[in-house]
Each structure stands twice: as C-alpha cells, then as structure tokens.
Chain A
C-alpha cells in the first residue's frame, strides 16, 4: 500500500482542546497511516492522554480538525466517532473495566464497530487467562488480566485503530513482555496502533514512528530508523 495516496487512518490538524477553562492542547498535528504503529512520547502533562481523549470526543471542547478515515469528527457525538473509518478502540489509562459486570459481560458488552470483530476463539487464544476468569467480576481480576480484558473487548468489537493509553503501567515485567507480544501480533495483522507509553523500552521496538509532545503540541517526530542516533536527545527530552 502506498501511504501517500491512501486516506490516513487518523489525521489531526491544529487541534486545540479544553477542559472547562483549561486549555490542554495547543495545536497538535499528526498523521497515522493504516497499519502503522506510532507512539506519543512526552512527560506527564504534555498532552498525550488528552490527544487520545480528543480523538474520541471525551474532552470538553475541541477546535481544529480530527479526521478518522477521511471523515471530520470535531463536533460529532462520541458514539458515532467510534464507528468511523476502520473502527476506533480505546484502552483508557485506568483500564475502564466495569466493576458491576463479569469478565465475560465486559468482553461482550461493546457493540460491533468494525467490519469484522475478532472471534472469541482467537481472543481466548491471545489472552488465555480471560477464558478461565470468564465468570469473575471484572474488578476481581489482577491488574494484568484487567489490561488484557481492556484490549480484548475492543478487538472483539472489531476496532482496527487502537488507542492504547499506558497499557504497561504498574504491571510485572513478565506481563509487559506478554503485552509486547500481543502488540507485535496485532501489528503483523495490520492493526493501526497509537501507543501512549511511559515505558520507552517497551514502545521503542514496536513503533514505526514516535511523536514527541510538549506543552500540548507535537514538537518533533522521530522515525524508527533514526532512533539509535537520537537516543541522547530523546532521553533528555523525556527526563529519564
């Protein structure tokens, strides 16, 4: 596929976003082609999570342009945005598992949004723990299992553009490795993924490109190939 001619999966131009009076994004520009994996990097408060929330219409007010599969979403109701383009799936930072629903209910809750959802057999092959814990209440799951469930339910719904916010946060290394394998599998299958990630060592080998955010805008873009040469300035930028 030639990314220059195809409609990008996601195209953000001069995005400003507000929560009430506070102005959190100041002109974000970014573009993600179908099948790409990108990360949003930056310190806390740089606007990474707000960028994801803006795409879904979960901030107070947005100006500028956010196109999903070529369709403008600024001004659109959130439940319509999810169904646009190749279908958007969102893993919020706090995972968003519904406490009053069982694991299975959480998994099956989301309406179909993409052309085809991932069949349950494949979901359970990818996340075997979830099958064992089917009947458990959603929030009785371990942190890692909750994260798997948060991923699994958007895959089942058929989303092909995945917005993943800090999926490795607070998880044991072995589980982080497992999630890394899952993201790689999804990439191989052509999913489009936007990762917000504090754990740079997790994100670096997975992504095609890295968007660097500071003070609510994208200040730099690093291609995967340039990464090795720019590690020093990147480390300084992230303050690690």
Chain B
C-alpha cells in the first residue's frame, strides 16, 4: 500500500520536474517576448534526439550531451527568433503561436519520417546506475538525479531572474520593453538570447528525459499539452509559479494514479478549468 503510493508519488515528482523545467522556459519566453512557444515540445524532443544521435553515431556520452545538446538547440532558437519571431513583433500573439506550432509540426514530421514511430532506448549513464533502498521503496539513482538537478536548475534560474542585475533587465523588459529600449538597452538582442535560453532549457530537459522515457519523435507533443496546462494554472509568465505548479501538478497526477488511475490523465485539465474559473490570471499570475 505505502509502497504503491510512494512509487506513484515518486513518478509524479519526476514528471513534475520535467513539467517545471519546461514550463519555466515557456514562462520566461512568454513573459518577455509575448510568444506562446508551441515548438517547446519539439525542442525538448530535439534535445533528447541529439543526445541519442550523438551517442549512436559519434559516441558522445551522456555528460557531454547534457552540455552540447542544449547549446545546439539553443543556437537554433537564436536563429528562429532572429529570422522568424522578430518579424511578428507588434502583431497579435496568435501569429507567434501559429508560427511555432508550424515549426513543431515540421520538426516532428521530419524526425518521424527519418526515424519512424518506434522509440529508441538510451542507456542510463554508468555513474547513475543502481539505486537506494529506502526501506519503504526502491529509489533508482537516476531518478533522484533528475529531481535534484531539475530543482537546482529551476531554482537557479529563479534566483538569477529575481535577484540579479541580469534578471532585473529581464523583469523590466517583461513589463515594458519599449521603455527599456528607450533607456539604451539593446532589447532586440535580449529577446533573442532569452528565446535561446528558454529553448535550451527544453533541450536540457530532453537530455535528462532520454534515459527514462523512450526517445521518439512524438515524445514532446504528448508532454507539451500538460505543460501548457501547468503554465495556465501557474499563471502565464510567472517564473516561480511555473516551477511550483510544475512540481505540484506532477504530484497531483501521481496521487490520482494511486486513488483513481483512470482519472490521472484528465485531472490536470480539470484543475486548469477550475483555476480559470476562480482565478483567471492563474495561481501566481498578476492580472495584466
């Protein structure tokens, strides 16, 4: 009984870690650029796939992939912002949503065409194999690693945004980018780097996910729907809100799987509907 519950809660915590990492990137991008980045799931998949391709074709291991994959995917993010998203500024944010949705379809379609539907396994790095026996449950080392690192990266990002000078630029730009630019800050470059960073976070989550979930072209599209629900529940553009809500939603999902398994995939959206009714700006959001 307790074993089943703690097992589901652990699974929820791990899912929640991924939700937090992904919704954090979405929140940062939406906050500053006013772009709903529908390509986020595809970029997460790209991160995982680059790790898998690196290992299969070039023999690049997990640790290097954890560094290189976000850098490569982040660099493609810079290009996407510079070439496409910048042209959509000042238009309704529906255009950005449609553009990134289209990009996601293209990226996922290409990978589907090249690699098919079936998943490719990715080995857990040697250092993180095995696990701890906690008495009431068995905790695989890799899963503990995922939770700890996701939390560290999420809280680190939060700290940089809320407490440093770099973050002050981001917060000011989120509030009033035009005024910030009139003060002499190169806001267009800030937009580009922020999109690159958000996308790199998605790729980072993708590499982390590779040894746990199957690496498939569609791994992002199934996850991203839940992540968008997380962003809506937490409040669009709220950094801390997206982290806390990410973990929270993962746990609620896990708990539901234990109590009423059939409802587990619906509970997030039910939660979203309730939050939208009671607090339309989200749990941590400010009314614009």
Instruction: Indicate whether A205 reaches chain B with its CB closer than 8 angstroms.
Output: no
Among listed A30-38, A74-82, A196-204, A215-223, interface-contacting one = A74-82
Question: Does the CB pair B168–A78 fall under 8 Å?
Answer: no
Question: Which parts of B144-187 form the interface with A (CB within 8 Å)?
Answer: 165, 168-169, 171-172, 174-176, 178-179, 181-187
Instruction: Indicate whether A98 reaches chain B with its CB closer than 8 angstroms.
Output: yes
Instruction: Indicate whether A133 reaches chain B with its CB closer than 8 angstroms.
Output: no
Q: Is the interface of B mostly helix, strand, loop or mixed?
A: helix
Question: Which parts of A50-106 form the interface with B (CB within 8 Å)?
Answer: 56-58, 77-79, 81-83, 90, 92, 96, 98-101, 105
Instruction: Indicate whether A6 reaches chain B with its CB closer than 8 angstroms.
Output: no
Instruction: Indicate whether A110 reaches chain B with its CB closer than 8 angstroms.
Output: yes
Choose one: B165, B175, B188; the contact of A77 (CB below 8 Å): B188
Give the nearest-CB partner of A154 in chain B: B183
Please indicate the chain A residues that have their CB under 8 angstroms from the CB of B172 in the complex. 98, 100-101, 109
Question: Does the CB pair A58–B182 fall under 8 Å?
Answer: yes
Instruction: Indicate whether A157 reaches chain B with its CB closer than 8 angstroms.
Output: yes
Please indicate the chain A residues that have their CB under 8 angstroms from the CB of B187 in the complex. 79
Query: How many A-B residue contacts, CB cutoff 8 Å?
Result: 60
Give Cα A99–Cα B185 distance, bound, in whole angstroms.
Answer: 18
Question: Does the CB pair A110–B183 fall under 8 Å?
Answer: yes
Give the nearest-CB partner of B162 in chain A: A100
Q: Chain B nearest CB: distance from A127 CB in Å?
A: 18
Instruction: Indicate whether A108 reaches chain B with its CB closer than 8 angstroms.
Output: yes
Please indicate the chain A residues that have their CB under 8 angstroms from the CB of B165 in the complex. 105, 108-109
Question: Does the CB pair A79–B184 fall under 8 Å?
Answer: yes
Question: Which parts of A154-207 form the interface with B (CB within 8 Å)?
Answer: 154, 157
**Also in contact, A101 and B171, with CB within 8 A (given A58-B178, A78-B178, A108-B165):** yes
Question: Which parts of B168-213 form the interface with A (CB within 8 Å)?
Answer: 168-169, 171-172, 174-176, 178-179, 181-188
Question: Does the CB pair B184–A98 fall under 8 Å?
Answer: no
Question: Does the CB pair A82–B182 fall under 8 Å?
Answer: yes
Give Cα A83–Cα B13 distance, bound, in whole angstroms.
Answer: 49
**Also in contact, A99 and B181, with CB within 8 A (given A108-B165, A109-B168):** no
Q: How many residues of B contact A (CB 8 A)?
A: 18
Q: Chain A nearest CB: distance from B190 CB in Å?
A: 10
Please indicate the chain A residues that have their CB under 8 angstroms from the CB of B171 in the complex. 98, 100-101
Give Cα A154–Cα B174 distance, bound, in whole angstroms.
Answer: 20
Question: Does the CB pair B169–A79 fall under 8 Å?
Answer: no
Give the nearest-CB partner of A108 in chain B: B165
Q: Chain B nearest CB: distance from A56 CB in Å?
A: 4
Question: Does the CB pair B182–A105 fall under 8 Å?
Answer: no
Question: Does the CB pair B184–A100 fall under 8 Å?
Answer: no
**Also in contact, A79 and B185, with CB within 8 A (given A96-B176, A99-B175, A100-B175):** yes
Instruction: Indicate whether A45 reaches chain B with its CB closer than 8 angstroms.
Output: no
Q: Chain A nearest CB: distance from B163 CB in Å?
A: 10
Please indicate the chain A residues that have their CB under 8 angstroms from the CB of B168 in the complex. 101, 105, 108-109
Tell me which of B171, B175, B181, B184 has the highest count of chain A C-beta atoms within 10 A of its own C-beta: B184
Question: Does the CB pair A90–B182 fall under 8 Å?
Answer: yes
Q: Chain A nearest CB: distance from B281 CB in Å?
A: 15
**Also in contact, A92 and B169, with CB within 8 A (given A79-B186, A79-B187):** no
Give the nearest-CB partner of A111 in chain B: B184
Q: Chain B nearest CB: distance from A135 CB in Å?
A: 13
Give Cα A90–Cα B178 distance, bound, in whole angstroms.
Answer: 12
Q: Chain B nearest CB: distance from A183 CB in Å?
A: 20
Please indicate the chain B residues that have their CB under 8 angstroms from the CB of A96 in the complex. 176, 179
Question: Does the CB pair A113–B169 fall under 8 Å?
Answer: no
Question: Does the CB pair B175–A111 fall under 8 Å?
Answer: no
Question: Does the CB pair A113–B175 fall under 8 Å?
Answer: no
Give Cα A81–Cα B182 distance, bound, in whole angstroms.
Answer: 8
Choose one: A57, A98, A99, A109; the contact of B182 (CB below 8 Å): A57
Please indicate the chain B residues that have their CB under 8 angstroms from the CB of A101 in the complex. 168, 171-172
Give Cα A111–Cα B187 distance, bound, in whole angstroms.
Answer: 12
Give Cα A203–Cα B188 distance, bound, in whole angstroms.
Answer: 37
Question: Does the CB pair B176–A98 fall under 8 Å?
Answer: yes
Q: Chain A nearest CB: distance from B235 CB in Å?
A: 13
A100-B174, A110-B184 are known; give 14 further A-B pairs, CB within 8 A: A78-B181, A78-B182, A79-B183, A79-B184, A79-B187, A82-B182, A83-B184, A96-B176, A98-B172, A101-B168, A105-B165, A108-B168, A113-B183, A157-B184
Q: Which residues of B contact A (CB under 8 A)?
A: 165, 168-169, 171-172, 174-176, 178-179, 181-188
Mind listing 20 A-B residue pairs with CB under 8 Å?
Answer: A57-B182, A77-B181, A78-B181, A79-B184, A79-B186, A79-B187, A81-B182, A82-B182, A82-B183, A98-B175, A98-B176, A100-B171, A101-B168, A101-B172, A105-B165, A109-B165, A109-B183, A111-B183, A111-B184, A157-B184
Q: Which residues of A contact B (CB under 8 A)?
A: 56-58, 77-79, 81-83, 90, 92, 96, 98-101, 105, 108-111, 113, 154, 157
